[in-house]
Amino acid sequence: MPQRTILIVDDNPENLTVLGELLCERYKVRAANSGPRALQLVSQTPIPDLILLDIMMPGMNGYEVLERLQEIPNLRDIPVIFTTAMSADEDEQRGIVLGAVDYITKPLKPAIVLARVHAHLELKLARDRLQHVNDSLEIEIARRMRENLMIQEVTIRALARLAETRDNETGNHILRTQDYVHALALRVCRHPRFAGELDEQSISLIAKSAPLHDIGKVGIPDHVLLKPGKLTSEEWDIMKTHAAVGADAIRRAEADTSEPVKFLDYAKQVARHHHERWDGAGYPDGLAGDAIPLAARLMALADVFDALISVRVYKKAFSFNEARQIMALQGGKHFDPDLLAAFLEGYDEFCDIAQQHPDSHAPIELDPVSQPAATPTAPGMA
> Are residues 198 and 294 in contact, defined by beta-carbon separation less than 8 angstroms?
yes
Q: Is the pLDDT of residue 128 over 60?
A: yes
Q: Is the pLDDT of residue 41 over 90?
A: yes
Q: Which residues pair with 81 in a beta bridge?
A: 52, 102
Reported as a single tens digit per residue, the pLDDT across 263-287 is 889 999 999 999 999 999 999 999 9
> Are residues 268 and 250 in contact, defined by beta-carbon separation less than 8 angstroms?
yes
Reported as a single tens digit per residue, the pLDDT across 193-236 is 999 999 999 999 999 999 899 989 888 998 888 888 888 999 99
All domains of the chain in start order, with CATH = 5-136 (3.40.50.2300), 167-356 (1.10.3210.10)
Nearest alpha-carbon partner for 195 in 297, 274, 278, 294: 294
Looking at per-residue confidence, does 207 or 98 come out higher? Answer: 207
